[in-house]
Chain A
């Protein structure tokens, strides 16, 4: 019987995946800035202290992210409501950060077909 791994290693793999998943979720809620209301306040304070960097626009983020996988689509190709649904799909498929996804959506909706 050829087995590349023993029962222990299989259990270890399963347990590792579960622990990693739980850790990621926990970290996102507790340590990642912006995950909770408290974190938002902290972020605001931090922004006040540091000099504000130039923030990327929705159009720039659109060029940056969408061009990774496909030729850019014209904002006029879809309606504002359609872009909302499509951006939700792309946020999941392309793993886009929430805030950047919102900025891209706003850019597309502002320049959409209807």
Chain B
């Protein structure tokens, strides 16, 4: 606009200079000046034209700018509207979250349905069970001592649905022999067996097996026993044997009653020095391999054994179990003498507070020096959990009183009777503090009364 005004101004000035001049003055302007003026006017006209074009172009640009501005304005308005909508939605979402949180607090959370792990991608077939014990003992006439610390893990490996390999170890610590310094850690293999489920009623077990002569040997962990010491007559039986076994159970109806059985063949007992003398009977020997790596079944034939059990539950925690088992086989290297044993076992539960169980064990073996030796023994144990008294006392409810009477006659003249009065304090269902006093009556002068405390843990 300014340029246009300037051009018009110049044109007006020119006209004003030319038109009002008197004739006399015009005569005074020569051609050259006229031409110069003419050129000037022409140039000014061109300039004006150029300025007009510029002005038009600027106006056009301005119009475009205005259009763009209008569009921007429109977009801005749309954005503002969108922001408002989003803010409104955010408010609604926050409100919904707040409502859900309030509802979640008010309503108890239902656990999600459990989905079994994918066995193909995750290996959880390996497990460790076991027990650990720590014992203090005071034998009459001797110093009290922390007798041992024992760790007994059981390693389980499940190979699919039907195969299980299980091995139990026993780590212990003991003082060295008199006049020898230090102590020795011992590691024993309690059992190592392969189990194969042949069908619903038969399982094949092979290896170094815990033998079901009675039920005690298979329930012998520290946290399962209610008294730290084993019953005396268990010394008349082997705890384990190397061989093979068939075992299983047959249910009788739907009430939980069942008959269970085991049949086994193992290398069996042996003689410590190979002879047939009675005091050389070694129930834990003859595993089939000598310490000098020679294969040595010390006698010609294996021992055979079997157990049949009957379990009759009345309702949960009320049941009676009876069993009859036995084993027989050669024991001396020459194969001249048989060792045999029979066990009658029983167990009764009356509610979750009362348990009574026991075994009668009778054995017989031939010998070179004492002829037929007939050891025998029995034990009976009863326990009562004081929680059954319904007293609202904190310590009492965790206590269980237990007592046991056991008797053994070794068949060679030594007879020992023992009465144990004890207790268990349950720190938890697997951590037990056991204690007991053992009153002994024996014609063996080395057998004496004993006070024992034991901390047991099962895992």
Q: How far is the CA of A13 from the CA of B125 in the complex (A)?
A: 39
Interface size on A, residues (CB 8 A): 61
Contact with A along B364-401 (1 / 0, CB 8 A): 11111011100000000000000000000000000000
Contact A68 B201 (CB under 8 A): no
Q: Name the residue on B nearest A53 (C-beta).
A: B254
* Residue of B247, B250, B329, B366 touching A3 (CB-CB under 8 A): B366
Pick the residue among A28, A61, A89 that contacts B256 (CB under 8 A).
A61
B-side interface residues, number (CB < 8 Å): 79
Least Cβ–Cβ distance between A44 and chain B, in angstroms: 15
Contact between A17 and B127, CB atoms less than 8 A apart = no
- A68 near B199 with CB under 8 A, answer no
Cα-based distance from A56 to B260 in the complex (angstroms): 19
**A56 with B254: CB separation less than 8 A:** yes
Question: CB-CB contacts of A63-83 with B at 8 A, as 1s and 0s?
Answer: 111011111111000111110
Contact across chains for B317 and A64 when beta carbons are under 8 A apart: yes
Contacts of A96 in B (CB 8 A): 249
Q: Is the CB of B195 within 8 A of A69?
A: no
Contact of B309 with A by CB under 8 A:
yes
Contacting A28 at CB < 8 Å: which of B126, B202, B330?
B202
> Which residues does chain A contribute within 8 Å of B419, judged by CB atoms?
none
Q: Which residue of B lies closest to A67 (CB)?
A: B317
Cβ of B198 within 8 Å of any chain A Cβ, yes or no, is: yes
**Chain B positions within 8 Å of A13 at CB level:** 304, 328-329
B164 touches A99 (CB 8 A): no
Give a binary string over A25-55; 1 marks a CB under 8 Å from any B CB, 0 the rest. Answer: 1001100101100000000000000000111
Residues in B neighbouring A95, C-beta threshold 8 A? 247-249, 258, 260-262, 309
The answer to whether A70 and B223 touch (CB under 8 A), given A4-B366, A10-B338, is: yes
Of the stretches B2-10, B83-91, B95-103, B114-122, the one at the interface is B114-122
B69 contacts the other chain (CB 8 A): no
Residues in chain B near residue A109, CB distance under 8 A:
114, 116
Q: Would you call B265 an interface residue if the criterion is a C-beta within 8 Å of the partner chain's C-beta atoms?
A: yes
Q: Is B316 an interface residue (CB 8 A)?
A: yes
The reply to whether B117 and A80 contact each other, CB–CB distance below 8 Å, is: yes
* Residues B430 and A17 in contact, CB atoms below 8 Å apart: no
Measured CA separation A30–B107 after assembly (Å)? 55
Contact A89 B166 (CB under 8 A): yes
Q: Are A67 and B304 in contact (CB under 8 A)?
A: no
Cα distance, A80 to B304, chains bound together (Å): 38
Check A68–B319 contact: CB distance below 8 A: yes
Check if B309 sits within 8 Å of A10, measured CB to CB: no
One digit per residue, 1 when the CB lies within 8 angstroms of any chain B CB and 0 when it does not, for chain A 3-17 equals: 111000110011011
* Nearest-Cβ distance from residue A62 to partner chain B, whole angstroms: 8
CA distance A58 to B328 in the complex (A): 39
List the B residue with the shortest CB-CB distance to A21.
B263
Bound Cα distance from A107 to B394, whole angstroms: 31
- A-contact bits for B344-364, CB 8 A (1 contact / 0 none): 000101001000000000001
B365 near A4: Cβ-Cβ < 8 Å:
yes
Complex Cα gap A16–B337 (Å): 19
B124 close to A (CB within 8 Å): yes
> B352 touching A67 by the CB < 8 A rule?
yes
Name the B residues within 8 Å of A1 (CB-CB): 336, 368
Cα of A53 to Cα of B257 in the assembled complex, Å: 14
Given contacts A2-B368, A4-B340, A110-B114, contact A56 B255 (CB under 8 A): yes
One of B202, B352, B372, B430 near A4 (C-beta < 8 A): B372
Q: Chain B residues with Cβ under 8 A from A32's Cβ?
A: 200-201, 250
Q: Is B247 in contact with A85, judged by CB distance below 8 angstroms?
A: no
Question: Which residues of A are at the interface with B, using a C-beta cutoff of 8 A?
Answer: 1-5, 9-10, 13-14, 16-18, 20-21, 24-25, 28-29, 32, 34-35, 53-56, 60-61, 63-65, 67-74, 78-82, 84-86, 88-89, 91-100, 109-110, 112
20 contacts between A and B (CB under 8 A): A2-B371, A3-B336, A4-B340, A4-B366, A4-B372, A18-B304, A21-B246, A28-B199, A35-B201, A53-B253, A64-B317, A68-B321, A71-B426, A81-B119, A91-B203, A92-B203, A95-B258, A98-B197, A98-B201, A109-B116
Sort A-B residue pairs by CB-CB distance and give the 4 closest, nearest first.
A81-B124, A17-B304, A95-B260, A28-B201
Given contacts A64-B313, A95-B262, list 13 more A-B pairs with CB under 8 A.
A2-B368, A4-B338, A17-B304, A18-B265, A21-B263, A28-B250, A29-B199, A35-B199, A68-B321, A81-B117, A92-B164, A95-B260, A97-B201
